[in-house]
Chains A and B, each alone.
Chain A
Amino acid sequence: MSTSDVPMAGSLSGTERQVSWYEASARNRLRLLLDAGSLVEFIGPEQRETSPHLRLFDLPEQFDDGIVVGRGQLDGAPVLVAGQEGRFMGGAFGEVHGAKLTGLLRAAREMRSIPVLILFDTGGVRLQEANAGELAIAEIMRAMIEARAAGVKVIGLIGGRAGCYGGGGLIAACCSALAVSEQGRIAVSGPEVIETNRGVEEFDSRDRALVWRTMGGKHRRLIGGADLFTDDTVDDFRAAALQLLRFPLAFGLDALDAEQSRLEDRLRRFGACRDATDIWALEGIPQPESIPGLPPDRFLKLAAAFPPSLGAR
């Protein structure tokens, strides 16, 4: 639970970026990800733009409503950034939280030239702000598509303890590209929801190995639900972000058609599989049951055989 900010001035050495992404706060992830001292926060906590709804439920607010948005530099080039705090209300979207991200993406749409990095860490929409939250998801998706149509690259980085679920999963699917770590998870319905609705025989949410096989970073990388797999340090996520930004990330009708084909083909190939290990076996991976236990460097070598789908989910 180390939450203290890091020094603003001076350069950041490699060791300072060696911290665990999973462990770090949203603000720390951004400060360490970007070039030292370059983070400028929009609508920072001192503005006190808090949720207008939580008081009604006798719940505490957070000054930034659980998301940090702003701008900075990545290897000298400007970027717009957003980072969700997964430990505040599970990183879930509320009215203000969502509006901050919508505003950021609309700004990106207007500026046309600056990429956006979104550090997802969310369970979806806050129940207490359901309508506003769901509207926000829709507005964010629209703003993101408009930004992409204007030529903006939108990169998603996923590796926090809340994962990227619900509306967050939908938004992630609209990004130009995604990087994910082993601890990261990407889905829409959460494990408990699936178990409640379909029964424990269909999905035992307490079987955490199953949860990660189905929704976790390694599987997402191998099935094309994420473009890059990265280790759990800020340094590794920074390298992944830089790598993704170097790719041509086109957007348009052709790209969507290609994505549709890819998804249809994927469903055709793997639709009858019962478990991710069956999918990995069909993909020709030897000893698929050993994938979850593989250390990151060996997994990366293996994953190199599966080129990133880029611009497609």
Chain B
Amino acid sequence: MTNWQHGREERQARIGAAANLASGKLVAPQDVTRLLEAVMRPGDRVCLEGDNQKQADLLSGALLAVDTAKVNNLHMVQSGVVLPSHLDLFERGVARRLDFAYSGPQSARIASLLFGGKIELGAVHTYLELFARYFIDLTPNVALIAAVSADRHGNLYTGPNTEDTPTVVEATAFKDGIVIAQVNDVVDELPRIDIPGDRVHFVVKSDKPFFVEPLFTRDPAAITEGQILTAMLAIKGIYAPYGVQRLNHGIGFSTAAIELLLPTYGEALGLKGKIASHFALNPHPALIPAIESGWVKQIHSFGSEVGMEDYIRARPDVYFTGPDGSLRSNRAFCQVAGLYACDMFIGSTLQLDLQGNSSTVTASRIAGFGGAPNMGSDARGRRHPSEPWLQAGREADPETSPMLRRGRKLVVQIGETFGDRNVPLFVEKLDALALAAKLRLDLAPVMIYGDDVTHIVTEEGIANLLHCRNAVEREQAIRGVAGYTEVGRGRDAKAVERLRERRVIVRPEDIGIDPLDADRNLLAARSIKDLVRWSGGLYSAPSRFRNW
């Protein structure tokens, strides 16, 4: 007789092995390492949250302390590699293999551990892709998650930073996995139930709240005239003509400038109600003036943002909130929204090559992709039409019969021709290629492929790649907005002029923008304090942003 219950029996056995450590579902913090030793086996697939913002830091520390004779060679499947302890696991041999999506703060160290052979890389993913694999071939055996509070039944409130948790728990709990949650508090009654208790096996109350950092706050004081110019170009040269209502902004100063120009520049252009009303977006403080000025109908968020909690509570018409009044975020659903329900992605990058391939990888840093490949890609499974989508499709493929011509998502890369420390944005060859060779990867880690990119916006103008008929035109269109970088200075001036005549390249003056008008006085808010004022005092700026 075939045994079809392996997984179930295995789970029961593991939970049984930990029974003496738990009182109901509750485990004391000092017993967590022993708990992990009881419920984990060498080689297990473990999801350690690891989200973009929140981190299950107590559980991470407890895992780091296990007896490596009992727990070793784990296969970590997590979206974010953020805390030092996430990589310490590999140094110690607790973990061996890694599949992830984002590693911003650890990008240098993760690269050196990969080169040093301490990490066996599965693959770098985009968020939605990793979540998808949780259900097919990367299902966790154990999930270590973070929540705000639990009740005695193990029901969890994940609060504004719900993020990845429902997805992780769904995959783990329903495929015979074990879910362990660290919480800030154990209470009699939760504000709302985000995770039902029958999916949660153990709960640990931590002495201090789980780690979470502000990642989506951009100080308006740091926005430069160049970024303002690119923002003006984007609004007048892309948002307006395509009529983009549904969109996602990648995080950055150029998009923060766009957000702050809507109530001023956007208003002056008569665009309110015509653009930028529905967002897949984290609660960016920089969007507060636009919200307060009536631009925004609705925002769905991947996660939350430190300091925005009270503002969100006071604006339930705009944000998704629970019956308790706090934000409900969900990265998986927001990523799906960005993929299928948005007509435009606009964001920045570190490098663009002559085909428009975009990468944030350098020779010594692997930051991963986050959500960009997902948001910044044409969703070929999309079927419902919208004006911007159809217009982009027309531009890309004027020959095909309209009835059979699919639309295109607008994928815009925006930035100044020279980035931080005057490093050029445009390169002949992406650093990602050198990295791929060094690590012997099958593919160079490209964040957004050139054939998905529809527009590039720099202070020199807009390149509309939809209008390019071949690779040569594409290259000159890119060189034509690459400013004084080597790539830009290498342009064929005549070819660029012809492209300008065809409106493949558009200069600021071609659409009535004087670069000298790109002034900080155009920003609806010029400081964090201004944002606090706009919010009526509801936005509570984190300490690092205060100058009062």
Contact = CB atoms under 8 A, between A and B. Distances in A.
A227 interface: no
The bracket for how many chain B residues form the interface is 10 to 19
B526 interface: yes
B117 interface: no
A2 B517 CA distance: 11
A280 B545 CA distance: 24
* Interface SS of A by simple majority: loop
Contacts of A295: 533, 537
Given A1-B224, A23-B520, A23-B526, A207 B548 contact: no
B520 A2 contact: yes
Interface in A192-245: 206-209, 212, 216, 218
Contact of A208 (B221, B225, B546): B546
Contacts of B543: 206-209
A134 interface: no
Contacts of B529: 182-183
Given A1-B225, A20-B526, A208 B521 contact: no
Interface in A114-162: 161
B544 interface: yes
B547 interface: yes
Interface residues of A, number: 19
Contacts of B526: 20, 23
Contacts of B537: 293, 295
A1 B226 CA distance: 11
A295 B534 CA distance: 12
Contacts of B544: 206, 208
Contacts of A161: 547
A183 B547 contact: yes
Nearest to A20: B526
Interface in A1-60: 1-2, 19-20, 22-23
A292 interface: yes
B301 interface: no
Nearest to B532: A293
A1 to B, nearest CB: 6
Nearest to A217: B548
Given A1-B224, A183-B529, A295-B537, 19 more contacts: A1-B225, A2-B225, A2-B520, A2-B521, A19-B521, A22-B527, A23-B221, A23-B526, A161-B547, A182-B529, A183-B547, A183-B548, A206-B543, A208-B547, A209-B543, A212-B546, A212-B548, A218-B548, A293-B537
7 nearest A-B residue pairs (beta carbon): A208-B546, A2-B520, A182-B548, A208-B543, A183-B547, A212-B548, A209-B543
Interface of A: 1-2, 19-20, 22-23, 161, 182-183, 206-209, 212, 216, 218, 292-293, 295
Interface of B: 221, 224-225, 519-521, 526-527, 529, 533, 537, 543-548
